Amino acid sequence: MPIRRLSVRGVRNLAPLDIHPHSRVNFIYGDNGSGKSSLLESIALLSSGKSFRSTQIKQLIHHDADRLELECELDGTTGADAQTQDLYSLRLRNGDVLFRLDGSVLTSQAQVATRLPVQVIEPNTFRLLVGSPEDRRQFLDWGVFHVEPGFIEEWRIFRKVLKQRNSVLKQKEVSWLDVWDGGFIEASEKIHQYRLAYLKVFVPQFESTLAALDAEIKVRLHYYPGWEKDSQLKDILTRQQDRDLQLGYTQSGPHRAELRIRVDKLPAADVLSRGQQKTVVAALKLTQGILYKQSCGNAPIYLVDDLASELDSRHRLALCQVLEDLKCQVFITSIEKQQLMDSWTPSEFKVFHVEHGKIEEESLP
């Protein structure tokens, strides 16, 4: 569902805004510090509840405000019965959060994310390669969550069982471990199978997408489920029981899974240049969008912040071509307007200029 109207209040240095973006491509340009990234950050926050620039949500709230408000009107799916939906989010400085869809309260961020799937490509996006296993695990689960409706409930069940097992370990209640291990193993296997099924289609599509961006980069994806390969989780839990009791938490399971990204046998982050790393991460995120569209019929929204950062003109053109083929809604920023237009000249687009926190749509010739 593309965004038809976007309203932002109380976010960083942005003045209150109401814009009507294009359903396809939106070019946003302005000086550093003008508010371009804050606009994209607002959309990402509404979708995921997270910022790609800060771990502290309260840092996003304007220093003179006690809240931030985000609202967007989403286009319905195509067809005679298509209807728009109004999605609203309120965040207070004290941490309280409210979500509404067409006036009705939503109870979780996951309910928002299913209606507003967003992918972000930004200057620090290479952290997906150099960051923690949790970063790559969350990336993998974004894809599974959005194409497998049953995954989120199984994940909640798994997290509940994991919490209970860890509580038993901390209290040294050895006699209760057998009770929880059965449920833990069952829930773990379901999460594992969801991820395997997704990766079965993800890996070949990723290889194709990466080749479209740069055929010279050779990267392979390896999935580590969170326990030793070719071993049964039951046997590993038995073998690690004494150590788990000593540590007070479960060492092995889906919560320790990782998507390992390698060039030959080395981590890709140790081999590739920063520009190549960004190209690989762009291919990963584009692949998720392609699979999402194949599964759901609509593409996610792409937020591309600072297009020129560490990508030369050839790779910028290749990235934009994949986005063009995906026919998704895109918000893309750069300092220079001409640099954006040189990288991409889509048939349908709008141009917005940001200056001192104020955003204005430019008339096209």
Q: Residues annotated in the binding site for ATP, as ranges?
A: 30-37
Q: How far apart are CA 16 and CA 358, in angstroms?
A: 8
First to last CA, the chain: 28
Contact indicator for 319, 310 with CB cutoff of 8 Å: no
Q: How far is CA 56 from the centre of its chain?
A: 17
Q: How does strand 67-74 pair with strand 85-92?
A: antiparallel
Contact indicator for 364, 345 with CB cutoff of 8 Å: no
Q: With 0-12 CB in 10 A as exposed, 13-18 as middle and 19+ as buried, what is 63?
A: exposed
Max intra-chain CA distance, the chain: 76
- The annotation places the binding site at 30-37
**Close Cβ partners of 353 (under 8 Å, ≥ 6 residues apart):** 28, 29, 30, 337, 359, 360, 362
Q: How far apart are CA 188 and CA 313, in angstroms?
A: 44
Q: How far apart are CA 235 and CA 226, in angstroms?
A: 14
Q: How far apart are CA 177 and CA 180, in angstroms?
A: 5
Q: How far apart are CA 85 and CA 167, in angstroms?
A: 42
